[in-house]
Amino acid sequence: MAEFAIMKAELLIRERVVYPDGSLVQMVVWRVPRPVPPTGHGFKYSLVYIVGGDRVLGYDNERGKGDHRHADGGEEPFLFRSIDDLVERFVSEVEAMRGLR
């Protein structure tokens, strides 16, 4: 009888930054054994920028919705390329919102 190794979710990124003005960024990324439907990649993630208690920017991939972006009170799908690309895009948008770009 063959034994199969069961891959568990692996935490890749867990970062939380609180700025002097009270706004915050939180990024959590997991490598998962199976894609979160309907995505085709092996990651589960949530990246959020919160100002005054409100989410002003977010990226996540919840089951049934796939990869999507929250901004300006709305939600839209986006093309996931890689975790590096996702984090770079998110950080760039946060910096622009904070007037750093």
Domain-located, residue 67: yes
Domain-located, residue 2: no
pLDDT digits (tens, 9 = 90+) for 36-93: 999 999 999 999 999 999 999 999 998 999 999 999 889 999 999 999 999 999 999 9
Q: Which domain holds residue 93?
A: 10-97
pLDDT of res. 6? 67
Domain-located, residue 3: no
Q: How many domains does the chain have?
A: 1
pLDDT of res. 1? 47
Domain-located, residue 5: no
Domain-located, residue 19: yes
pLDDT of res. 72? 85
**DSSP conformation letters of 20-61:** TTS-EEEEEEEE-SS--TT--SSEEEEEEEEETTEEEEEEE-
Please say if the pLDDT value at position 5 is more than 80.
no
Domain-located, residue 18: yes
